[in-house]
Amino acid sequence: MVPKWTRILERAEVVGNYAQPLVITALGKSVGTPEGGVTAEIVHFATFDDLKAADPAMVKDKIVFISNRMERFKTGAGYGPAVKARGAGASEAARKGAKAILIRSIGTDTHRLPHTGGVTYDEDAPKIAAAALSNPDADQLVRMLGYSDSISVHLNIQTTMEDPVEMYNVVGEITGRVKPDEYVVLGSHLDSWDLGTGAVDDGAGVAITMAAANLIQDLTKERPYRSIRVVLFSAEELGLIGARQYAEAHEKKGDMANHMIGAESDFGAGPVWALASNVSENAVHVVDKMAALMGPLGIVRADRKAGGGPDVGQLRAKGMPVMDLMQDGTDYFDLHHTADDTLDKVDPAALRQNVAAWVVFTYLAAEWPGSFR
């Protein structure tokens, strides 16, 4: 059961000096402003940490604006440092008396399309409206503040939080011929944010994991040694709810030890360029063989430990070995959680390369009779 949140209205504009509209989107699960909105002077912080260190007197009765810019990396490494402002900024600002918060979108694009994503409200803080500015509008606010000590914004966000609704994980399985109760887990997530269609986050991942399992089923004469389980997790964007419940259910059932290895496709539709693992020493040679077979696809062996991804990572935390089929995410955060997340952004050739790589991983993991633990 998950809460049902709906955006109704989102509008912002600079009033007074340099009056002009701003392009915003409410962050997921944000409360609304009072009906009709709020008007207040903005107080600017370059980073979330600057807000944390600020004197509450600077913040009281103002709209907080955090302008930290996400850096572009092939691996998406800029996301973690930047996203703190989105998740924790609202409660930190509210504790210091802010009326609302605006953050620069957590994205690497220069389009006038803001990025949504979930906000986390702490129980010990008031709830204030939280929204993301498109990157060009965030730049514009910074410029304005260079010309004037006082910039005021009118912000009107209207949302609803309704009774919880039921959501489901979707599980499909190719049952193993020798070890039907041992599982190779292929994960991705079903839900997406409402601005776009979810083609990149995570429709592509759903397609890749399902296609890989299906291709093995179609091309092999017999079922694999152990079972292949494709799990399409629900409510990932709301806080990994489906993955957490899957992990808890199987821990309670007592069969987590039968989850032999897993991986997740949840980083768009770019080509796989590296293979990382987090397995026991006695299984490293199998991973090396996988990487060698993936070599003609342009994939190299990574020297870092795999994390498994957001959903499958919940199973890693309970002891399951994991792999990362690392995708090129150079432009992933141009599209992430925006209205630009549509099917035209998916390159069919890159999708086929992903499927080929996933078939290699999945088939060898399911056929090798040894343990990755």
269 DSSP assignment: B
Q: How many residues does the chain have?
A: 373
User: d(Cα 52, Cα 63) in Å, to the nearest integer?
Assistant: 15
User: d(Cα 316, Cα 210) in Å, to the nearest integer?
Assistant: 21
Instruction: Provide the angle, in degrees to the nearest 10, between the axes of the packed helices 204-219 and 348-367.
Output: 50
User: d(Cα 283, Cα 305) in Å, to the nearest integer?
Assistant: 14
**Helices assigned H by DSSP within 227-340:** 241-253, 284-294, 312-316, 332-335
Known catalytic residue: 236? yes
User: d(Cα 262, Cα 61) in Å, to the nearest integer?
Assistant: 48
Given a contact cutoff of 8 angstroms between Cβ atoms, the answer to whether 28 and 237 are in contact is: yes
Q: Could you tell me the CA-to-CA distances from 227 to 70, 210, 224 in Å, in that order?
A: 40, 14, 7
Q: Could you tell me the CA-to-CA distances from 273 to 80, 120, 263, 302 in Å, in that order?
A: 21, 33, 15, 9
Residue among 10, 236, 237, 264 flagged as catalytic: 236
User: d(Cα 252, Cα 4) in Å, to the nearest integer?
Assistant: 28
Taken in order 114, 120, 124, 129, the sign of the CA dihedral is positive
Q: Could you tell me the CA-to-CA distances from 135 to 139, 141, 192 in Å, in that order?
A: 6, 10, 21
Which residues does the annotation mark as catalytic? 236
